[in-house]
Amino acid sequence: MMPLWLDIVIAVLIVSGASFTLIGAIGLVKFRDFQKRLHGPTKNVTLGLGGILIASIMYFTYTQQRISVLELLITLCLFLTAPVSAHLLIKSAIKRQGLALPALPPTSKPDQKN
């Protein structure tokens, strides 16, 4: 049986990872814009999966008495691919919808610009 401290650490990692994933998915539903909606999955869900993978590394390192490397491969794969897919999606959204950057707010002293 696992020692209690390892049990508590694994439980905290699993619950926090699942909470981050849930918060990202709620952000995917609740935000209004596509640009705002892109924030939830690309950051929160990746972080939540990282927490679950760390918990899995600790559990299998304890039960099988050796360091497990396969989770690190999954982590590396996801942390490399999530920004790439987000970049492609936002490029496609900007091109198809003609989204432009909002204009800057007016400055208080336009005459003394130089």
Partner 1 sequence: MNFSLDMLLQPFSHVGMVSKYAMLIAFIFLSISIACCTWRVVRGPMMEDRILALDTLYINAIAVIILLGLVFTTRVYFDVALLVAMFGFIGTVVLAKFLFAGDITK
The contact set with partner 1 (CB under 8 A) reads: 1-2, 4, 7-8, 10-12, 14-15, 17-19, 21-22, 24-26, 28-29, 34, 37-38, 40-41, 45-46, 48-49, 52-53, 55-56, 59-60, 63, 68, 70-71, 73-74, 77-78, 81-82, 84-85, 88-93, 95-97
Could you give the CA distance from residue 56 to residue 110 in angstroms, rounded to a whole number? 58
- HSE-CB at 16 with a 13 A cutoff on CA atoms is 12
Nearer to partner 1, 25 or 103 (CB): 25
* Largest separation between any pair of C-alpha atoms in the chain: 74
* Least Cβ distance, residue 101 to partner 1 (angstroms): 18
- The answer for 98, left when phi > 0, alpha when psi is -120 to 50, beta otherwise, is left
* Least Cβ distance, residue 72 to partner 1 (angstroms): 11
